[in-house]
Amino acid sequence: MSHFDHIGCRGLRKISHNPPEGYSYLVLFVPARQNVLSAILGPNPLLQVVIDIDPTDRLEIEGFVWEKEEGLLKLIEGDVQMDAWARVIVWNDRRPGVRIGG
């Protein structure tokens, strides 16, 4: 599942590939599994459910987790020298029942 934005003119084009609202967690998984997982989990699943998915489907990515609103997290992918999965697991330990996807 993807959301594409195309912004540009003759001399400049920018295409971004971002998951739709509620599906930021999909970047944690290999692209070949993202559509299946999005259909199963839907938007904003419980963080524990995301962690329970087969670890062989995980990507090693850098990023951080941000609490977008009370009880709802958003994963921000980026070159921040932080293992995104480690951040996800810490949040789940500290806040059981929280959702991710924002």
Residue-wise pLDDT tens for the chain (102 aa)? 544 454 555 565 555 567 788 999 999 999 999 999 999 999 999 999 999 999 999 999 999 899 999 999 999 988 888 899 999 999 999 999 999 998
pLDDT value at residue 91:
94
d(Cα 27, Cα 61) in Å, to the nearest integer? Answer: 8
Give how far the C-alpha of residue 23 lies from the chain's centroid of Cα atoms, to the nearest Å: 6
Give the list of residues 6+ apart from residue 75 with CB closer than 8 angstroms, or none.
Answer: 24, 25, 27, 28, 63, 64, 65, 66, 84, 88, 100
pLDDT value at residue 81:
86
pLDDT value at residue 19:
78
The H or E element containing residue 33 is: helix 31-41
d(Cα 92, Cα 21) in Å, to the nearest integer? Answer: 21
* Rounded (10°) CA dihedral 64, 65, 66, 71: 180
pLDDT value at residue 83:
93
DSSP secondary structure code for residue 83 in this structure = B
pLDDT value at residue 20:
86
pLDDT value at residue 15:
52
